[in-house]
Chains A and B, each alone.
Chain A
Amino acid sequence: MPALIGLEGVTKRFTSRAGESVTAVEGVSLEIESDQFVTVVGASGCGKSTLLKLIGALLPPTEGRVLRGGRPVQGPSRDVGIVFQSPVLLPWRSALDNVLFPIEIMGWPVGKYRAEADRLIELVGLQGFEQSLPRELSGGMQQRVSICRALIHDPPLLLMDEPFGALDAMTREELGLELLRVWSERRKTVVFVTHSIAEAILLADRVVVMTPRPGRIVTTVSITLPRPRTLEMEFSEEFKGYAKLVRDALGSTKGARP
């Protein structure tokens, strides 16, 4: 069976305002199996977000091919859920109506998804806040709503672009574990971009390490820590070993390319 997602020699170039060509991602090949939790780690500006958009077919590659289930993708497809760094909820809609937003905007029958929205809201521990407006919720709660919004139409692929990057460290850890719990109940392929090495290792089956200018994959590390994961695992020798691997890979081109 072909992998759910396949990238073959994918390069993405943008034209900057000054008219120069900027290579965001160069020669990336990657396979992602169904139901895998893959994290992409790298410094800011290493093309992580661009890679995520290429995987989700939100951007066409300049060179190379992006495959979904072995077939080249043509354009954006509805079977992705997206979570951004900022929750970007609609401020005039209640939490529940924000969760149902994708259904409404696609013109699907909202009534049919009401029960699923309630279940998701309960799954992330927001029961009782269904009718609250985004401004009445904390940053962490808003991000929980946006995770529910990404899952409401049950897409097989979940793309997360530094979803906890704007949160404080404690909320961030808490939400990371919660995401794993949600993932264990709603199996999906997750591609999760982060600049935190610890977060990347704690969540992932596989860590993809990227270095900038141009954005390249230097290595991928398979994480075999048992699930369910706990914060205590971060103190284990195994975890520290992974962290060293990732850190070394991140630093490997620093001397060569300032």
Chain B
Amino acid sequence: MKPLTDYGFPLAVIAGLVALWEVLCRMVRIPVWLLPAPSAIVRDTWTWADRIPGHLWVTFYETVGGFAVSVLVGVPLAIAIVYSPLMRRVLYPILLVVQSVPKVALAPLFLIWIGYGPKSNILIAAIVAFFPMVVNTAAGLESVEPDLLQLTHALQASALRVFWKVRLPWALPHIFSGMKVAMSLAVIGAVVGEFVGSDRGLGYLILTASSNMNTAIVFGVMAVLSALGMVVFWAVCLAERLACPWYLPPDGGAQ
């Protein structure tokens, strides 16, 4: 555990900024539809408390669903790229083209193809998230020490064993880095999908509230959304700790 003072100072700064915001709103009399005070945000959001959980659940499973699809598609694609020079030549240009299209622009297209609702939002989340999954996994699989591969070559080990016992575990920290980025992007993808076409989810809630000039609710739902983002991100970090306890992140770790 880090000493409490490591958290104390950042927390104090944040608390100070929120207090400053509150004081400014009250003193300058900023209109509530422009910038509500923190106290107003909490109060107004509380009145919507019964509506938020349902929408939160929708955004949550769109995010996690999109993330899962990006992992399930991204990891095998990366394996194909690493193991087959032909697949690399075929797939990389396609991936680059897909990556260079602004994903938000694809959302209306999915709306036409798949229709309104969570399914197309999951797909948008997945397509936003899967590129870093592919790139990181491929980089991880290729980062194996050449000497180690030379050793397995000398021992005439089967490619399958080398994959399961060397390459994949070696790539795990990279795969988890990819997952962290993918999870953060999946939240964005899900909300973008809800903006474009949905009658459920936190994105939809923000859109509804803002069209009613209910700025306090917009802020409140945004806070819920960022809490969701932090929780799912943290879940990936926890999974990483469990899956590769031997790995110490470059930024120090516990010792």
Query: Which residues of A are in contact with B by a Cβ distance under 8 Å?
Result: 56, 58, 76-78, 80, 82, 84, 86, 88, 90-92, 101-102, 104-107, 133, 135
The reply to whether B248 and A105 form a contact with Cβ atoms under 8 Å apart is: no
For chain B residues 15-43, which have a beta carbon within 8 Å of chain A?
none
Cβ of B4 under 8 Å from chain A: no
The CA of A86 and the CA of B247, in the complex, are separated in Å by 19
- A105-B162, A133-B246, A135-B246 known; A90+B169 contact, CB < 8 A: yes
The CA of A104 and the CA of B162, in the complex, are separated in Å by 10
The CA of A88 and the CA of B148, in the complex, are separated in Å by 6
Partner pick for B165 among A58, A77, A78, A105, CB 8 A cutoff: A105
- A105-B165, A107-B161 known; A92+B154 contact, CB < 8 A: no
The CA of A56 and the CA of B166, in the complex, are separated in Å by 22
Interface string of B220-255 (1 = CB under 8 A from A): 000000000000000000000000101110000000
Partner pick for B153 among A58, A84, A88, A104, CB 8 A cutoff: A58
Interface string of B151-194 (1 = CB under 8 A from A): 11111111001100110011000000000000000000000000
Q: In the complex, what residues of B have CB within 8 A of residue A77's CB? A: 154, 156
The reply to whether A106 and B157 form a contact with Cβ atoms under 8 Å apart is: yes
The reply to whether A88 and B246 form a contact with Cβ atoms under 8 Å apart is: no
Q: In the complex, what residues of B have CB within 8 A of residue A102's CB? A: 151, 155
The reply to whether A92 and B147 form a contact with Cβ atoms under 8 Å apart is: no
- Shortest beta-carbon distance, B52 to chain A, in Å? 42
Name B's interface SS.
helix
- Shortest beta-carbon distance, A122 to chain B, in Å? 23
The reply to whether B154 and A90 form a contact with Cβ atoms under 8 Å apart is: no
Partner pick for A82 among B151, B157, B161, B247, CB 8 A cutoff: B151
- A78-B154, A104-B165, A105-B152 known; A84+B244 contact, CB < 8 A: no
Cβ of B6 under 8 Å from chain A: no
Which interface residue of A58, A92, A107 has the most chain B CB atoms within 10 A?
A92
For residue A59, which residue of chain B has the nearest CB? B150
Q: List 14 A-B contacts (CB under 8 A).
A: A76-B154, A77-B154, A78-B155, A82-B150, A84-B147, A86-B145, A88-B145, A90-B169, A92-B246, A101-B165, A105-B152, A106-B155, A106-B157, A107-B157
